[in-house]
Amino acid sequence: MAFDFKKEYKEFYLPPKKPGIVDVPKMHYIAVDGKGDPNEPEGEYKEAIGLLYAIAFTIKMSYKGKHKIDGYFPYVVPPLEGLWKQDGGQGIDFGHKERFEWTSMMRLPDFVTEEEFDWAIREAIEKKKRDFSKVKYFTYREGLCVQCMHIGSYDSEPDTIRMMNDFIREQGYAGDFSASRLHHEIYLSDPRRTATEKLRTVIRQPILKA
């Protein structure tokens, strides 16, 4: 049975629809930074997703080749995630997606070191004949956050965020956005195959004790 991060770490990937507080530990990712509206058909965001999946599956399928990664175990590729900010990082205005600055990313198993990441980049370049210089090895310690499951359109996320903000105020917390603590989304549904009203997205935001 392949290891599935979503099932093994439900507190981070499958939260309830009601907000809750979570302390997120250090995790390793492959990531691509970019700017602009993620809905642009030929934009940076679409390119970034392609780059991430190519590297993710290079690592996942490495056991079939000559290169053996120490500690490797079969696993399900974790879902796509995104860190989002605008104008320095103080919250999000969904009405101006053209101002988004984002980090698109996918979690790595702990056995993937920076050295193994470098191997995967070289391997992908050789096999795909494509430029992967935008992809980086990214370590992120998120810390104290509020999160919940959002069901429906990405454009209706502000309603869920208002509910999250009401919850943290009631619990004695406040938002804690900064250049390194950002609005975070985890995409559990493929929008190409899922009805908009059924899309599942984990929304997570940084907080501190008020």
HSE value, Cβ hemisphere, 13 Å, CA-based, for 205: 27
CA 193, 197, 203: angle at the middle one, nearest 5?
A: 95
| Average pLDDT score over residue span 179-190 | 95
pLDDT for 17 beyond 80: yes
- pLDDT tens digits, 19-72: 999 999 999 999 999 999 999 988 999 999 999 999 999 999 999 999 999 999
Q: Where are the alpha helices (DSSP H) in the chain?
A: 5-8, 10-13, 44-60, 114-128, 157-170
| pLDDT greater than 80 at residue 88 | no
Percentage of the residues of the chain whose pLDDT score is greater than 90: 90
**For residue 31, which of 127, 107, 92, 131 has the smallest C-alpha distance?**
107
Query: What are the Cα distances from residue 210, in Å, to 70, 116, 204?
Result: 44, 41, 18
State pTM to two decimals. Answer: 0.95
Q: What pLDDT score does 42 carry? A: 87
d(CA 108, CA 117): 10
For residue 95, name the pLDDT band (cuts at 50, 70, 90): confident
- pLDDT tens digits along 110-137: 999 999 999 999 999 999 999 999 999 9
Read off the pLDDT band of 90 (50, 70, 90): low
Mean predicted lDDT score pLDDT of the chain: 95
